[in-house]
Amino acid sequence: MRLRAPVVVLAIGAAACSEGAPPRALGERAAAVTKGAPSSADGAVVAIVAPPLSCGPRATTAACTGVLVAPRAVLTAGHCADAQEANVVELGPRVGDASNERRRVVAATRHPKYSRDASDFDLAILWLDAPASAPPLPLPAASDPVPVVGAQLRIVGFGQTRDPAEPDGARRSGTVALSALSPRTLQVGAGPSMSCQGDSGGPVQATIDGVERLVGVISAGDRDCRVEGTAARVDAAIVDEFLRPTLDAPPGAEAGTLLSCEAGCARDADCRPGLVCRQARDGVDRCAISGLEPGELGGACAGDAECGAGHACVTTFDGCRCYAPCAGPDDPVVVGGPDPKRPAAAPEVTELEGGCALRAPNGRGWSALSFALALMGARRRRR
């Protein structure tokens, strides 16, 4: 959810906090449902996780939340489709559990009227590499009545709890009160729960004729996750103009260039989802991880020492792999030492496995989420 004032991101899910929320500023990101309760029944609500750049244990916090609206489609906030934040979707009650079902995000479609600076139309569909096992949440119908101010709404998310006794990263639900309604947003107040960092993209549901209906997607809120939140409305109009047309036209097989020191590119769209087109050391534009120079993945590894000097052991969707930047014309030839593409007893990997994230060029292990959020520090806070 978008929060209200600049933030300095130190790690996944870390955000600046202060007493008394200032007026909403443009740009920051908000965390889990505060004053809520663990939710085991909301199987359609999923965590959106960005793996760390350097190889190591997976993060136990969610970058965002989403909700299945089709077997391969997750509805979330538009700002949750930024950069590396949409790498992996986990289905399960707690992020990082070994038993979780994991799906790679292969494409994202934002609402055409999405803006980073507003909650109106802060919506996106994330496409998964394979169908999820949980049943999707039904979309709103034209006959659904509009919720009225004062109505109790239920929110679900994987964000911060702001409670030391309740760890972050668990799926939780809580109740908020509808305080204002506009054509494209819902304003909610604590009732007693509130959305927080990591809850962006989570569903807002109203009980209509005894049945819960999706009425919004969490987008933004106050700095301290205490006073109010904003959700993008999801109604029959959104279904007709965005959701249904998008769901009726799923992406085909993944297209684009993988990580390669042989193939070039001319624009980001030439690369597989999650990659960007950047200049390599030899002056040729090649596909790369956002924020890193172009390179190639090699064999399996457990640490940087197995990959050779100047190379790194990095996280991919299915394990740790050696990574070597593409060589430039003036780079020295390395004689001796392990081959980063063929370490001992490890097979060669020639394709980028989805969800890959690499070590930052300065060698420090930034998380992909931290890198993306640091670039957005001047925007209004989002959950």
Poorest-pLDDT segment among 91-95, 144-148, 206-210, 364-368? 364-368
pLDDT of residue 253: 65
Select from 23, 76, 24, 33 the least CA-distant residue to 194.
33
Decide if pLDDT at 91 tops 60.
yes
Measured distance CA(128)–CA(99) in Å, rounded: 18
C-alpha angle with apex 122: 40 to 237, nearest 5 degrees? 90
Instruction: Work out the mean pLDDT of the chain and round it to a whole number.
Output: 75
Poorest-pLDDT segment among 97-101, 256-260, 375-379? 375-379
Q: Span 65-88, mean pLDDT? A: 85
More confident: 297 or 379: 297
Poorest-pLDDT segment among 93-102, 158-167, 320-329? 158-167
pLDDT of residue 35: 58
More confident: 67 or 316: 67
pLDDT of residue 46: 96
More confident: 58 or 27: 58
Topology of domain 1-254+362-383 in CATH is Thrombin, subunit H (2.40.10)
Q: What is the pLDDT of residues 250-307, one digit of tens each?
A: 887 666 788 889 999 998 878 877 678 999 999 999 998 766 789 998 899 888 888 8
- Kind plus residue range of the DSSP H or E element containing 299: strand 295-300
Q: What is the dihedral of CA 127, 46, 366, 374, to 10 degrees?
A: 80
**Do 323 and 307 form a contact (C-beta atoms < 8 A)?**
yes
Q: What is the pLDDT of residues 343-375, one digit of tens each?
A: 433 333 333 333 323 333 333 333 333 333 333
pTM: 0.69
Decide if pLDDT at 238 tops 50.
yes
Decide if pLDDT at 214 tops 70.
yes
**Do 188 and 229 form a contact (C-beta atoms < 8 A)?**
yes
Domain extents for the chain?
A: 1-254+362-383, 268-351
